[in-house]
Amino acid sequence: MKDSDVRQGTLALMVLKTLDVLGPLHGWGIARRIEQISGDLLTVNQGTLYPVLLKLEQEGSIASEWGASENNRKARFYRLTRQGHKQLQAEARSWEQTATIIERFFAVKAQDLE
Amino acid sequence: MKALRRWARQSTSWLRSARDEDVLQAEIDEHIAMEAAENVRAGLSAAEARRWALLKFGSVEAAKESYRDQRSLPLMETLAHDMRHMLRRLRKTPGFTAAVLVTLALGIGANTAIFGVIDSILIRPLAYPHADALVSVSHTAAGLPGLPGDLGCSPSMYFTYREANQTFEHFGVWTSGGASLTGVAEPELPRTLFVTFGVLDAIGVKPLLGRWFSEADDAPGSPETVMLTYGYWQRRFGGDKSILGRVLTIDSKPRTVIGVMPEGFRFRHDPELILPRRLERAALSLGPFDSQGIARLRPGVSLTQANADVARMLRIWGSAWPLPPGMDSAPFRNARLGPRVQPLKQEIVGDIGAALWIVMGTLGMVLLIACANVANLLLVRAEGRQQELAIRAALGAGWGRIVQEMLLESMILGVLGGALGLGLASAGLHLLSANGPDTLPRLAEIGIDPLVLAFALGVSLFSGALFGVIPAFKYGGPHVATALRGVGRTFSYGPERLRARNVLVVVQVALALVLLISSGLMIRTFQQLRRVQPGFSHPEQIQILHSIIPETVAKDPERVMRMQNEIMDRLAAIRGVTSVGFGTAAPLESFLGGGNTVYPEDQRFTESQVSVMRQIRKVAPGFFKTMGTRIVAGREFTWTDLYEKRRVAIISENLAREWWGDPRAALGKRIREAGPADPWREIVGVVENVYDNGVQVRPPAFAYWPALMDRYIWSGENEFAVGAGMFAIRSSRTATEGLLTEARQAIWSVNGRQPVFLVTTLKALYEQSMARTSFTLVMLAIAGAMALVLGIVGIYGVIAYTVSQRTREIGIRTALGAQPAGLLAMFVRHGLLLAGVGAAIGLAAAAGLTRLMSSLLFGVTALDPATYAAVLALLIIAAVLASYLPARRAMAVDPVQALQAE
């Protein structure tokens, strides 16, 4: 349970970052990008992306509209809102802090504590 | 904030659920198509590309499922589902739905309406700025035990309190009465409020036009001024803005209009004109207590402090002013005056609160009965659905879910019924504020406000929960599975199946009995009031009209009297008129004012009662004969008494007994009104008491003076005659347009410039005086009737249902040789048993509860045996009927059919 919560949290952060970097993008595009960068996180389960997109949209961090895809098909494009931008910055900062702390924590060897 | 926004979207998502589903499907299709296209580009075949795309996406259904969970709140989802399901069910059983909704609408509507009344009268603050700082200032008189109500303020108190107080921001005194408006097309007598400086400042409602009275308006000798209230300004002057500065002739004096009060301004007796009350300081003494005090407390001052302040000022007042002429200080010492400063609202609302809460209580009981009936209907329905519920439970529906669904259904029924009830209540309140009794204070303010709406919603939800809980726990419980076994041919219904319904019926009968007894007691009270000899006879025959001979027409008192005499003669000559009376006011018209203190010559004022106000009427010969007031001793006035200006008087029986113990002993004694100029007058007659303040209030003591006198306190050394007076015509044609037209012509044939107004009948005044009692009576009677009908329906329903459920048993019994009469008796006994148990509980409850309404009763005790017996008999008869009718169906059961059924 907790595992999926954490994963959902990181997935949300990745979605925000993706949209921040690449601009408006459809669901498949987001999935591809995350797959390219994170390796196997979404390899067998791209479907889990959609509830996360919905949650972000409900929270107002992203917005969506229908548009034409590269090969001229109808697709739903997601984009970062101003609030999503702020959220990304805040979460990136807190993620960095967490990461630093964890890193330091693991860097500590037993003899350092003596 | 984020979570809140998400929740808001989730909780409203069911509005868009169907569309969302399509959108998601389209999006997923698109995703898979793109992935497949990518795979094709990588060199896979079309079929293979699609297979891999699907694999990579994972379970479409799982994604959709978690998407749905994310989209909305699961509880809302089931609620919305249940609601759709339920509304469909309700539509399919229109009879049941209508019965429930009508019952609830009546119960909730009645309660909402009466709460609307209570809210506007008792709860809402008065419509003045910072109304909580407004107080009425009156006095207790511990030494005058017979005094009805409190003692007001005397004019001299106005000066003492204004100058010496430490707790009032503003203080003033007021009286109300009529003032004649003449010199316009139709002369009339508007209701008038007489205020000293300080009253309007205390109230704090700014005038719409012009200005308030200043201190200068009160000073004798300054220009005479007047203010109008909004309604009168609109009605009489068409809202003419140029009214300021216009001169109106009021009480024969020209007065300049200086202001108009705004539309929302209300005051006691709903005044039309406001006149400054000019008090001549040098002429004042300690008495009389003829005014009402009103004050605005300084910020932060408590009632206790204000009362202490008035107590202090009473001592200053007692030594600062002279005694009224001819009196020693004993009555003032003995009266033991004390302060009584109370919130203005409390003073205005008075004792109406008791009646309203009782009506509210009874209507609350009606609602409980209505809920019991609805619960009964729901029980029957749940019984019918028992198998369905059992199957659902067996298939894995949690019983919490089933209870939730049943409660939801009852809540929705409650809210729908409440919405209908709100409509009823709003219509009822409109009716009430248009036709309600004048004695209901703040009548014009009655209406529905947010508090009433909240009340209606609360009551609806409460009732929904109340009648929903019973079937929900009886049939929604975890034992439902056993019900699957319990339905079938081999099973007859045991008595425990009916227990819940029996209990409900017992409760209904008990409540109905309490309500019927309360309304029975009110009916008895009304009868007793009707039985009181009010001091006049056949009021329906007495036509009353008021008229004024303006000073411009006749000034000389004797001339005025001769004109009144001539009018009386002409009125008496009208066809069908048996007699005509003339005086300052008719019985029950004491609101026109005219009270003062009266002193007997032969008694020094050691008796404390002496300073009590007496009603004063100036009358012409024939007054008592026309009213039908019995002469107890002595005689009525004669025209010789009047024209020779004999100093004679007539008093009421209670005054004669108070002073001389016996009406006959009063004859020949001399009395006079308070004031230096009034001469002693000899008592020539004693008449029956007149219930001038309404029949439930002790009749006040009266002194009657002749309508023409050689000297009178209000005219000083000069003669006095009644110029503004009331003609009473006893006729069989009373209240017909023909009589009124002829009466007006008779008056105008003597003087064509004479206003005729306040046209009414004594009967109307009499009924007005009982308005509060009849209001309570009507409300309780409605509640009682509703309770009886609902109770009967309850008994009928249970017996009818029992009969239908026990058809098989009846069939067996008949087949075994039971007599139809015996079967009938069995069901009627069941109904009677329920009614009997209910009645026993109801009697005990009524004995306790009716004590609360003893303040409303008159001439009957709260435990009146006749009422209890009559109501009990009525209820038992109703119960027998309610069980007999459905039980008859049991006799018609054909045993063969009954055993073959199912």
Residue bearing tokens 């198509």: B33
Query: What pLDDT does B492 receive?
Result: 47
- Between B11-15, B664-668, B831-835, the lowest mean confidence (pLDDT) is in B11-15
Q: Does position A111 have pLDDT exceeding 80, yes or no?
A: no
> What is the ipTM score, two decimals?
0.82
Give residue B837's pLDDT band: very low, low, confident or very high (50, 70, 90).
Answer: very high
Are the beta carbons of A73 and B33 separated by less than 8 Å? yes
Q: Does position B568 have pLDDT exceeding 90, yes or no?
A: yes
Q: Cβ-count burial of B703 within 10 angstroms (0-12 exposed, 13-18 middle, 19+ buried)?
A: buried
Chain B residue with the nearest C-alpha to that of A51: B67
Query: What pLDDT does B667 receive?
Result: 92
- Residues in A closer than 8 angstroms to B38, CB to CB, are 32
B37 touches chain A (CB under 8 A): yes
Q: What is the distance in angstroms between the Cα of B24 and the nearest Cα belonging to chain A? A: 9
Nearest CB partner across the interface for B27, out of A59, A60, A76: A76
- Residues in A closer than 8 angstroms to B34, CB to CB, are 26, 28, 69, 73, 75
Mean pLDDT of B602-627: 76
DSSP count for chain B of H helices, then E strands: 31, 25
Partner residues linked to B705 by β-bridges: B618
CA-to-CA distance for A21 and A33, rounded, in angstroms? 10
Chain A residue with the nearest C-alpha to that of B55: A44
Q: Does position A105 have pLDDT exceeding 90, yes or no?
A: no
Q: Does position B351 have pLDDT exceeding 60, yes or no?
A: yes
Q: What is the mean pLDDT of chain B?
A: 82
Q: Of the candidates B202, B180, B195, B203, which has an alpha carbon nearest to the alpha carbon of residue B258?
A: B195
Query: What pLDDT does B672 receive?
Result: 85
* Domain extents in chain A: 2-113
Are the beta carbons of A46 and B56 separated by less than 8 Å? yes
Mean pLDDT of B137-161: 78
Per-residue pLDDT of B746-797, as tens digits, reads 888 887 767 677 778 888 888 877 776 777 778 788 888 888 888 788 778 7
Mean pLDDT of B74-79: 68
- Between B114-123, B373-382, B472-481, B783-792, the lowest mean confidence (pLDDT) is in B472-481
Neighbours of A17 (CB within 10 A): 18
Mean pLDDT of B524-534: 85
In b/e form, how buried is each residue of B349-363, taking b as 16+ CB within 10 angstroms? beebeebbebbbbbb
For B77, the 3-state DSSP assignment is helix
Neighbours of B619 (CB within 10 A): 26
CA-to-CA distance for B781 and B425, rounded, in angstroms? 17
- Between A84-88, B90-94, B348-352, the lowest mean confidence (pLDDT) is in B348-352
Inter-residue contact B455 to B115 (CB < 8 Å): yes
CA A30 to chain centre: 9
Q: What is the distance in angstroms between the Cα of A17 and the nearest Cα belonging to chain B? A: 19
CA B366 to chain centre: 18
Neighbours of B560 (CB within 10 A): 22
Residue B46 vs residue B332, higher pLDDT: B46
Q: Does position B74 have pLDDT exceeding 90, yes or no?
A: no
Are the beta carbons of B5 and A58 separated by less than 8 Å? yes
What 8-state DSSP symbol labels residue A63?
A: E
Residue B250 vs residue B186, higher pLDDT: B250
Per-residue pLDDT of B200-229, as tens digits, reads 888 888 888 888 888 888 887 788 889 998
What CA–CA distances, in Å, run from B764 to B271, B541, B586, B758, B769? Answer: 21, 11, 12, 12, 9
Inter-residue contact B294 to B202 (CB < 8 Å): yes
Mean pLDDT of B513-530: 86
Query: What pLDDT does A56 receive?
Result: 87
Query: What pLDDT does B634 receive?
Result: 92
Chain A residue with the nearest C-alpha to that of B63: A47
Q: Does position B145 have pLDDT exceeding 60, yes or no?
A: no
Inter-residue contact B721 to B707 (CB < 8 Å): yes
Query: What pLDDT does B621 receive?
Result: 94
Q: Give the tokens for residue B657.
A: 């007994």
- Between B243-247, B465-469, B854-858, the lowest mean confidence (pLDDT) is in B854-858
CA-to-CA distance for B338 and B140, rounded, in angstroms? 5
Q: Of the candidates A7, A114, A11, which has an alpha carbon nearest to the alpha carbon of residue A54?
A: A11
Per-residue pLDDT of B311-329, as tens digits, reads 999 888 888 888 776 566 6
- Helix, strand, coil shares of chain B as percentages rounded to 5? 55, 15, 30
Q: Of the candidates B391, B389, B414, B408, which has an alpha carbon nearest to the alpha carbon of residue B75?
A: B408
Nearest CB partner across the interface for B31, out of A44, A46, A59: A46
CA B66 to chain centre: 58
Query: What pLDDT does B292 receive?
Result: 86
Are the beta carbons of B30 and A28 separated by less than 8 Å? yes
Query: What pLDDT does B356 receive?
Result: 82
> Which residues fall within 8 angstroms of residue B880, CB to CB, at 6 or more apart?
B828, B831, B832
What 8-state DSSP symbol labels residue B609?
A: G
Mutate to test the interface with B, among A48, A54, A73 (most CBs of B within 10 A): A54
CA-to-CA distance for B499 and B31, rounded, in angstroms? 62
CA-to-CA distance for A33 and A23, rounded, in angstroms? 12
Taken as a whole, chain A contains a residue count of: 114
What 8-state DSSP symbol labels residue B123?
A: I
Inter-residue contact B859 to B531 (CB < 8 Å): yes
Query: What pLDDT does B594 receive?
Result: 64
What CA–CA distances, in Å, run from B330 to B449, B605, B606, B611, B715? Answer: 53, 7, 6, 10, 29
Q: What is the distance in angstroms between the Cα of A94 and the nearest Cα belonging to chain B? A: 17
Mean pLDDT of B690-715: 85
Q: What is the mean pLDDT of chain A?
A: 79
Query: What pLDDT does B431 receive?
Result: 82
Mutate to test the interface with A, among B5, B25, B27, B40 (most CBs of A within 10 A): B27
- Residues in B closer than 8 angstroms to A61, CB to CB, are 2
Q: Give the tokens for residue B797.
A: 């329903």
Per-residue pLDDT of B722-747, as tens digits, reads 888 899 999 988 878 888 888 888 88
CA B678 to chain centre: 44
- Residues in A closer than 8 angstroms to B28, CB to CB, are 47, 50
CA-to-CA distance for B870 and B877, rounded, in angstroms? 11
CA-to-CA distance for B731 and B578, rounded, in angstroms? 6
Inter-residue contact A80 to A54 (CB < 8 Å): no
Q: Does position B406 have pLDDT exceeding 60, yes or no?
A: yes
Q: Does position B847 have pLDDT exceeding 60, yes or no?
A: yes
Mean pLDDT of B683-687: 95
In b/e form, how buried is each residue of B59-74, taking b as 16+ CB within 10 angstroms? ebeebbebbbebbbbe
Could you give the percent of chain B with pLDDT greater than 90? 16
B56 touches chain A (CB under 8 A): yes
CA angle B299, B303, B305 (to 5 degrees): 80
Q: What is the distance in angstroms between the Cα of B7 and the nearest Cα belonging to chain A? A: 8
CA-to-CA distance for B491 and B509, rounded, in angstroms? 31
Residue B276, φ and ψ in degrees, nearest 5: -70, 140
Give residue B608's pLDDT band: very low, low, confident or very high (50, 70, 90).
Answer: very low
Q: Does position B158 have pLDDT exceeding 80, yes or no?
A: yes
Query: What pLDDT does A3 receive?
Result: 44
Q: Cβ-count burial of B75 within 10 angstroms (0-12 exposed, 13-18 middle, 19+ buried)?
A: exposed
In the chain, the amino acid numbered B571 is L
Q: Does position B385 have pLDDT exceeding 80, yes or no?
A: no
Chain B residue with the nearest C-alpha to that of A78: B27
- Between B48-57, B509-518, B652-661, B893-902, the lowest mean confidence (pLDDT) is in B893-902
Taken as a whole, chain B contains a residue count of: 902
CA-to-CA distance for B319 and B425, rounded, in angstroms? 56
Query: What pLDDT does B441 receive?
Result: 66
Query: What pLDDT does A36 receive?
Result: 80
Are the beta carbons of B30 and A54 separated by less than 8 Å? no
Inter-residue contact B686 to B653 (CB < 8 Å): yes
Mean pLDDT of B859-878: 88
CA B67 to chain centre: 57
Give the best-scoring range by mean pLDDT among A64-68, B460-464, B897-901: B460-464
Q: What secondary structure does DSSP assign to B634-693, as a single string?
A: E----HHHHHTT--EEEEEHHHHHHHHSSHHHHTT-EEEESSTTPPPEEEEEEE----TT
Packing angle, helices A49-59 and B60-71, rounded to 10: 20
Inter-residue contact B797 to B539 (CB < 8 Å): no
Question: Are β-strands B670-673 and B598-600 bridged in parallel, bridged antiparallel, or unpaired?
Answer: antiparallel
Q: Does position B876 have pLDDT exceeding 80, yes or no?
A: yes
Query: What pLDDT does B488 receive?
Result: 45
Are the beta carbons of B24 and A50 separated by less than 8 Å? yes
Q: Does position B648 have pLDDT exceeding 90, yes or no?
A: yes
Mean pLDDT of B133-154: 76
What CA–CA distances, in Å, run from B324 to B21, B310, B316, B483, B597? Answer: 93, 22, 17, 89, 10
Element (H, E) at B580: strand B577-583
Interface of chain A toward chain B, CB-CB under 8 angstroms: 26-28, 31-32, 43-48, 50-51, 54-55, 58-61, 69, 71, 73-76
Radius of gyration of chain B (CA): 38
Nearest CB partner across the interface for B58, out of A26, A47, A73: A47
- Residues in A closer than 8 angstroms to B2, CB to CB, are 59-61
Q: What secondary structure does DSSP assign to B710-751, as a single string?
A: S-BGGGBTS-EE-SEEEEEEEETTTT-HHHHHHHHHHHHHH-
Could you give the percent of chain B with pLDDT greater than 70? 88
Q: Of the candidates B794, B102, B831, B98, which has an alpha carbon nearest to the alpha carbon of residue B511?
A: B794
Are the beta carbons of B59 and A47 separated by less than 8 Å? yes
CA-to-CA distance for B671 and A42, rounded, in angstroms? 112
CA-to-CA distance for B63 and A50, rounded, in angstroms? 7
What is the CATH T-level fold of the domain A2-113, as seen in this structure? Arc Repressor Mutant, subunit A (1.10.10)
Are the beta carbons of A44 and B70 separated by less than 8 Å? no
Give residue B577's pLDDT band: very low, low, confident or very high (50, 70, 90).
Answer: very high
Q: What secondary structure does DSSP assign to B463-523, as a single string?
A: HHHHHHHHHHHHHSSTTHHHHHHT-STT----GGGGHHHHHHHHHHHHHHHHHHHHHHHHH
Query: What pLDDT does B881 receive?
Result: 86
